Amino acid sequence: MSKQEPPSSWEDADIDNSFSKFAKLNVNAAVFVPGGHFQSSAQHQQQSSLFPPTSVQSHQQQQMPASSVRIRPPTTPPSTPVSSRHHAENSKQQTIAVENNLIENDRHKIDTDSKQSLTTTQQNEQDIEKIVIDEEEGAKMEDDIEMSTNEETKDIGERLKMTKQSKEKNIVKHDIIRKKDPVNIIFCGHVDAGKSTIGGQLMFLMGRVDKRTLEKYQTEAQEKNRESWYMAWILDTNEEERDKGKTVEVGRAWFETNKKHFIILDAPGHRCFVPNMISGASQADIAILVISARKGEFETGFERGGQTREHAMLVKTAGVRYMIVLINKMDDPTVNWDKARYEEIKEKLTPYLKKCGFKPGEDTVFMPCSGLSGAVLKEHPGEKILPWYRGPTFIDYLDGLPSIDRPSINGPFRMPIVERYKDMGTIVMGKIESGCVRVGDKCFLMPNRRKVEITNIYYEDIDTDVSFCGENVKLKLKNIEEEEISQGFVLCDVNDVCQVGKVFEAQIAVREHASLITAGYSAVLHIHSAVCEVQLKEIIELIDRKKGEHTQQRFITQDQSAKVRFEINQNSVCMEPFEKFPQLGRFILRDEGKTVAVGKVLKIIE
């Protein structure tokens, strides 16, 4: 009797278990003759338990909505028991023939079962080849076959191990396809316009916050004499934000409609936090410009220096596809749902939005609303309160917008890093701008060209197996520490990395700058999620877009466009020519707390 030893690896437990059972064989048993394949109902039950659950079964056990997540199967597939023995009087060749015959029979049976399972679940997934040998048949073989020598046992074990390892390479991951398009929306506008309140109200109306939680926020707000701010506290979770009543960081939340999955990016409205707003705008597909209709508040936000103007320009530069202008606080006593006030604001805003590049009536729409009461956000308040507005509600309009045209999921993987932190490993956050990523993928972190591995993907804090362009995700990285990553780094496909530049040519349009801009001028560059200081090295030519003329000049003034050359004052930054990859080729120049110019990368020199 040989002593049973624990396996060196649990993946090889089935092989080691087979060795221990060799020693227990009945040497006086009759010779086993292969040919028949009998299976009792008890055996069928036991064999069924050996199969790993299908993706649909796993999905039902976890009770998660198929519309919003892909369920990842266990990282290590369950091991399959394998048993095989041979008779002492048979030759080594007979033993191998018996073993191969059994494996081929069970392989045919399992392939048939797998095809039937795929037909039942109607999933368009790749077949997974499994090798499972019935344990009870193995036990029967143990009674009929005896090992002859230790050398032959070692030979069989090595071949079984090689078979198992080769089959594991064919295992593929299962994904439940998310049925709703991800859409990133950013709430922007002047401070105190009601952005966070509208965002919080949407979370409540769409069932993402229950009534008990809302009552808790209402009580806490009353204790701090901030009764009207309780809706904003759903998104403003920071104590500093709650105490001051001002959003500082970009808040994040999500909700779903019948057709789409919306990610809310709640941008700060104060001019001191515009860099944070730019970071949020770089991830957005749709901009929600919130305007306060209260007497005096619209005028303050829209005059020079107000954030209504700057935010409208910034989101267009960042590449948003649509804009919804929500004229908020229409239920305020100074307004009382007055149509004249609504039309006045609309008439003043429209020319400026056209100047920014928006097209009211095509990609821009106006709506009245009340963030505090929720009127027109999900339901019309009724003819008695609002008889003159016949348009759609905010949610209905969002849900009816065309799907966002994104780069192919087969394109090169690109994800600019917006935030990083440590939580049982290194976590990075960002929006996938191109391609897709799977658990186990190897990527380069640019510009340092550091090779990392994706060990986990979290989509809305749910562990998933794969994520696609357009989705805001968290990725857990292997082989790198948090301190080695900075905002503005870009995760890339190992076979197609993004470009890195220090000197580049660009076309800029000066929006607001009192003095002349000449060679040597320095400003802060915001490109995707990266922020750095640049210096103007050369003005190549001025561009008159109306006349189509190109002239030589040594300075640039407000409202002029020019082709120029910049040099970054520090380390190189990830960027791409605008024509090749727009999201990594747009940029904003800021100086002294103001947006000076917007531009696009034409060519990377070095």
Tell me the per-residue pLDDT of 358-388, one tens digit each, with 9 for 90 and over. Answer: 998 899 999 999 999 999 999 999 999 999 9
- Cα–Cα separations (whole angstroms), residue 459 to 182, 253, 431, 467: 11, 12, 11, 8
Spatial separation of the C-alpha atoms in residues 162 and 12, rounded to whole Å = 11
- Per domain, the residue ranges of the chain are 10-168, 181-400, 414-493, 500-604
pLDDT digits (tens, 9 = 90+) for 424-478: 899 999 999 999 999 999 999 999 999 999 999 998 888 999 999 999 999 999 9
Record: fold of 414-493 = Elongation Factor Tu (Ef-tu); domain 3 (2.40.30)
* pLDDT score of 536: 95
Record: fold of 500-604 = Elongation Factor Tu (Ef-tu); domain 3 (2.40.30)
Q: Check the CA dihedral 382-385-390-391 and report its sign.
A: negative
Residue 324 pLDDT > 70, yes or no?
yes
Spatial separation of the C-alpha atoms in residues 509 and 512, rounded to whole Å = 9
CB 420 within 8 A of CB 444: no
What does the DSSP 8-state code read for residue 27? T
Strands 181-188, 503-510: pairing kind: unpaired
* pLDDT score of 250: 74
Tokens of 130: 């499994």
Measuring CA to CA, which residue among 72, 75, 68, 69 is closest to residue 55? 72
Taking residues 109-121, report their average pLDDT: 45
Other beta carbons less than 10 A from residue 181's beta carbon: 17
* pLDDT score of 167: 33
Please report which confidence band the pLDDT of residue 527 belongs to, taking 50, 70 and 90 as the band edges. Answer: very high
Please report which confidence band the pLDDT of residue 73 belongs to, taking 50, 70 and 90 as the band edges. Answer: very low
Exposure letters 551-576 (e unless 16+ CB within 10 A, then b): eeeeebeeebbbbbbbebeeebbbbb
Spatial separation of the C-alpha atoms in residues 51 and 43, rounded to whole Å = 13
Spatial separation of the C-alpha atoms in residues 550 and 541, rounded to whole Å = 6
Q: Virtual CA dihedral for 604, 591, 252, 190, nearest 10 degrees?
A: -140
Q: Which residue has the higher pLDDT, 552 or 25?
A: 552
Spatial separation of the C-alpha atoms in residues 441 and 454, rounded to whole Å = 6
Query: DSSP for 86-137?
Result: --SSS-HHHHHHHHHHHHHHHHHHHHHHHHHHHHHHT------------HHH
Please report which confidence band the pLDDT of residue 243 belongs to, taking 50, 70 and 90 as the band edges. Answer: low
Residue 4 pLDDT > 70, yes or no?
no
181-400 has CATH 3.40.50.300 classification: yes
- Cα–Cα separations (whole angstroms), residue 246 to 196, 281, 599: 9, 18, 30
Highest mean pLDDT among 26-35, 316-325, 406-415 belongs to 316-325
Q: What percent of the chain has pLDDT over 70?
A: 68
3-state secondary structure 340-374: HHHHHHHHHHHHHHHHHCCCECCCEEEEECCCCCC
Taking residues 247-252, report their average pLDDT: 72
Taking residues 288-305, report their average pLDDT: 90
Let me know if the fold of 181-400 is the same as that of 414-493: no
Q: Which residue has the higher pLDDT, 236 or 3?
A: 236
CB 139 within 8 A of CB 82: no
* pLDDT score of 8: 46
pLDDT digits (tens, 9 = 90+) for 151-192: 444 444 444 444 334 333 332 333 444 678 899 999 999 988
Q: Which residues contact 546 (CB under 8 A, 6 or more apart)?
A: none
Residue with tokens 């910034």: 314
Tokens of 136: 């009870």
